[in-house]
């Protein structure tokens, strides 16, 4: 049996960052040092729909990023990550919040100071801080390791600033907005917000149905859909292909602008509007075909077809799960993957091999998850065949000459919070 990438317990994560804090700054045992953590996520279905004001359905992973942090009385930020070492020692980065502007910070610290900057921009009095980070969220795997960093700092900074936003869902929506600004404007990744929403708003045992229409009130944007795979005798296997995955490389931005251009051509604010009007007409395909005819080229037709059909699949998926028929969602996952591969063109050889091998070994359905171009796939499997499906995927990767994948099992877990 292939070993699974296990999540750390809370105690373990807390002990790690406390120790690292002590080694970096001293005083780890002080009351002034506290620990917060935030999860990575997998999206069950609804891919590349968030920036089209659509629907998506992420769950929080049990894998979390931990932050030990102590406030400062000035605006200095000193941060180190266990994942960024020079000669085995975490490298200390030092910045001044007073000087931070978009584009001025490189790498993972952009996510951290970006959150502080966005909260200050929103009028909150965020002080400087000393902090260390450690994480068991696989890095660069399309499982939102950067949203986990942003969200862990968001709840930490919220608490040390006395803002109190993390205490309510409406407040958390403001934290999500700050994290999105950090990612879009500081880190320069034009992502849509699903990941930050998942990390800050998910709850254990449920999937988060996010409705990304910007005009909605905060409390209309999230519905918690009970998602207890254990009770259904099922499991969600996550396959990190370890194929290089880079959202900032222009492909993601290109998909997004193709959708925005298409929306303008079709005279709608977002492609969601088209999806809703077709849905309201009970469209069986003719309405969509007619809309696609109005687009200038086959590429934009394919992209729009993906977005519209994917929003429909989210609705069907939620209807099945809500009806206690989770074991029947497999074909929707398969159709989502085909649409992302053929119409949206964001899959890759490793993702395709992962989903095909998983299905051949008995998965009920499988699809890539997240932005694509590498990253991870998910397979819905009966609990008793998790090992067999994992082994089959590992064997298929070896046959194809790919780097061995990293496997983990996702259970719908908790959102960002204080850990100690």
Positions touching ligand GLA (CB under 6 A) are 43, 47-48, 50-51, 191-195, 370-371
**Closest distance between ligand GLA and the C-beta of residue 239, in Å?**
16
Residue 117: phi and psi, rounded to 5, are -60, -45
Nearer to ligand GLA, 192 or 405 (CB): 192
3-class SS of residue 92: coil
**Closest distance between ligand GLA and the C-beta of residue 310, in Å?**
9
Nearer to ligand GLA, 151 or 419 (CB): 151
253: CB partners within 8 A, 6+ apart: 190
Nearer to ligand GLA, 54 or 62 (CB): 54
Check the CA dihedral 42-43-48-49 and report its sign: negative
**Residue carrying structure tokens 């394919």:** 302
- Shortest CA distance to 140 belongs to which of 113, 107, 184? 107
**Closest distance between ligand GLA and the C-beta of residue 48, in Å?**
5
- How many whole angstroms separate alpha carbon 287 and alpha carbon 312? 14
DSSP annotation string for 142-162: SS-HHHHHHHHHHHHHHHHTT
- Shortest CA distance to 80 belongs to which of 68, 71, 72, 90? 90
Burial of 157 (0-12, 13-18, 19+ CB in 10 A): buried
- How many whole angstroms separate alpha carbon 160 and alpha carbon 378? 37
- Shortest CA distance to 314 belongs to which of 216, 225, 190, 197? 225
Catalytic: which of 195, 240, 343, 406?
195
Nearer to ligand GLA, 2 or 300 (CB): 300
Query: For 232, how many CA atoms within 13 A lie in the half-sphere containing its CB?
Result: 23
- Residue 399 catalytic? no
Nearer to ligand GLA, 140 or 287 (CB): 140
DSSP lists the bridge partners of residue 38 as 65
Nearer to ligand GLA, 41 or 71 (CB): 41
**Closest distance between ligand GLA and the C-beta of residue 95, in Å?**
24
- How many whole angstroms separate alpha carbon 382 and alpha carbon 394? 18
- How many whole angstroms separate alpha carbon 273 and alpha carbon 279? 10
Tokens standing for residue 236: 């969600």
Q: Is 30 left (phi over 0), alpha (psi -120 to 50) or beta?
A: beta
Nearer to ligand GLA, 34 or 56 (CB): 56
**Closest distance between ligand GLA and the C-beta of residue 255, in Å?**
9
**Closest distance between ligand GLA and the C-beta of residue 1, in Å?**
30
Nearer to ligand GLA, 20 or 318 (CB): 318
**Closest distance between ligand GLA and the C-beta of residue 193, in Å?**
6
Residue 403 DSSP code: P
Biggest alpha carbon–alpha carbon distance for the chain: 67
Residue 56 DSSP code: E
**Closest distance between ligand GLA and the C-beta of residue 251, in Å?**
11
- The catalytic residues are 195
């Amino acid at each position: 049996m292939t070993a699974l990438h296990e999540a750390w317990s809370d105690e373990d994560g807390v002990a790690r960052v406390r120790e690292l804090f002590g080694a970096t700054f001293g005083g780890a045992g002080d009351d002034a040092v506290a620990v917060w953590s935030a999860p990575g996520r997998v999206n069950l279905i609804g891919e590349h729909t968030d920036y089209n004001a659509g629907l998506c359905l992420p769950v929080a992973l049990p894998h979390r990023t931990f932050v030990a942090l102590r406030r400062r009385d000035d605006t200095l930020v000193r941060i180190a990550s266990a994942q960024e070492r020079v000669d085995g020692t975490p490298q200390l980065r030092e910045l001044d919040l007073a000087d931070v502007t978009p584009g001025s910070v490189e790498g993972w610290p952009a996510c951290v100071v970006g959150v502080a900057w966005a909260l200050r921009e929103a009028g909150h009095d965020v002080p400087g801080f000393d902090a260390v980070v450690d994480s068991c969220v696989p890095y660069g795997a399309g499982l939102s390791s950067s949203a986990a960093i942003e969200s862990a700092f968001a709840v930490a900074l919220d608490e040390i600033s006395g803002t109190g936003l993390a205490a309510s869902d409406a407040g958390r929506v403001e934290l999500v907005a700050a994290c999105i600004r950090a990612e879009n404007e500081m880190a320069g990744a034009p992502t849509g917000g699903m990941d930050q929403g998942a990390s800050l708003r998910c709850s254990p045992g449920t999937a988060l149905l996010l409705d990304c229409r910007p005009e909605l009130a905060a409390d209309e944007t999230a519905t918690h859909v009970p998602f207890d795979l254990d009770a259904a005798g099922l499991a969600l296997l996550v396959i990190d292909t370890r194929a290089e995955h880079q959202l900032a490389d222009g492909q993601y931005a290109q998909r997004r602008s193709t959708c925005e251009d298409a929306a303008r051509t079709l005279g709608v604010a977002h492609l969601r509007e088209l999806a809703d009007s077709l849905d309201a007409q009970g469209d069986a395909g003719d309405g969509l075909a007619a809309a696609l005819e109005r687009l200038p080229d086959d590429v934009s037709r394919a992209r729009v077809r993906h977005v519209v059909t994917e929003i429909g699949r989210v609705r069907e998926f939620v209807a099945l799960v809500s009806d206690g028929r989770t074991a029947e969602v497999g074909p929707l996952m398969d159709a989502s993957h085909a649409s992302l591969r053929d119409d949206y063109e964001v899959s890759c050889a490793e993702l395709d091999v992962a989903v095909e091998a998983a299905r051949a070994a008995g998965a009920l359905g499988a699809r890539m998850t997240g932005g694509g171009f590498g990253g991870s796939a998910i397979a819905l499997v009966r609990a008793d065949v998790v090992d067999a499906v994992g082994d089959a995927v590992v064997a298929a990767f070896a046959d194809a000459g790919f780097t061995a994948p990293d496997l983990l099992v996702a259970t719908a877990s908790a959102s960002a919070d204080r850990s100690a």
